[in-house]
Amino acid sequence: MNTPQHSHFAEDVLKGLTTKEKHVSSKYFYDDNGSRIFMQIMQMPEYYPTACEFEILSQQSGNIFDTINFTTKFNIVEFGSGDGIKTRQLLKAFMDKKAQFTYIPIDISQEANDALQQNMKTALPNLDIQPRTGDYFEVLNELSAGTLPNLFLFLGGNIGNYKKDEAIDLLERFNADMKKGDMLLMGMDLKKNPRIIQLAYDDPHGITRSFNMNLLQRMSRELEADILSDQFDFYSNYNPKNGEVNSYLVSLKKQSFYSKVLDTTFHLEKDELIWTELSRKYSFEEINALAEATGFTVKNNFLDCRHYYTDSLWV
């Protein structure tokens, strides 16, 4: 998965680890090793969002197509397309309905795009696919100048990684670049029994722990830093009051490490936290409010059978 912003790992780590509340953005989880660990996360039974979205897109894409009701040729534009296994369910259902569309996956990684294109060619040989590598908004700008209607996909619950203001900002920018009639299908994880959420982000296999610990390994390698990972712990907590899962690396002792690349020594107190990720969970009221605040209307929510997750269709 890749986020719209270009990565400035070194500068961001320097900034994030020299402020009062230390943090490193979750977008840096996804180096090659991190992406591999994330695939393992998606396969664990505890991490329900993937299975939920797969179910929705497998069983309700016909329904989604009828609700969208585009009668001409159109584009399906996906932000952060990843491996495309879930999206494939939607594309297949749309093709079965004889929909005429071009699939435009956007990813910052050329490698991800090449792999996706190969997979799609095998699974759906008749698919018209035109991958774009680069910044979301460059492509968005170009497409809004065209005449074809667009269905934008922002799947996987990635919106939950953004702080409230950042989410509003991002969605406002999407909105500004969308023409009348364009639609946005966005995956959002719903509030539910707190234990279910807690287990998804603090799994007994330790896979989410490795996912976070990998950030330390990435820093060691790319910033040439002498970090000892066993002097850190992982802690993740869901707060049902505000719907936030917050994840952290915890310094197990007072320690410091030196990065050659940054020529900086970083200091950590015993029990000091490095905040790594926010994963927000929504109620339907909050989804409506977020849509309203950013110039959208919620047309429909497509839910899995357990009502854990929604693919929310916005106009």
Least Å from the CB of residue 98 to ligand AVJ:
32
Nearest residue (CB) to ligand AVJ, 132 versus 280: 280
Least Å from the CB of residue 74 to ligand AVJ:
26
Least Å from the CB of residue 71 to ligand AVJ:
33
Nearest residue (CB) to ligand AVJ, 75 versus 208: 208
Point out the residue whose Cβ comes nearest to ligand AVJ: 279
Least Å from the CB of residue 96 to ligand AVJ:
28
- Residues near ligand AVJ, by CB under 6 A: 1, 41, 49, 156-158, 160-161, 201, 208, 211, 277, 279
Nearest residue (CB) to ligand AVJ, 102 versus 198: 198
What are the two backbone dihedrals, phi and then psi, of residue 81, each rounded to the nearest 5 degrees? Answer: -75, -25
Least Å from the CB of residue 2 to ligand AVJ:
11
Least Å from the CB of residue 120 to ligand AVJ:
21
Nearest residue (CB) to ligand AVJ, 182 versus 277: 277
Nearest residue (CB) to ligand AVJ, 104 versus 200: 200
Nearest residue (CB) to ligand AVJ, 262 versus 303: 303
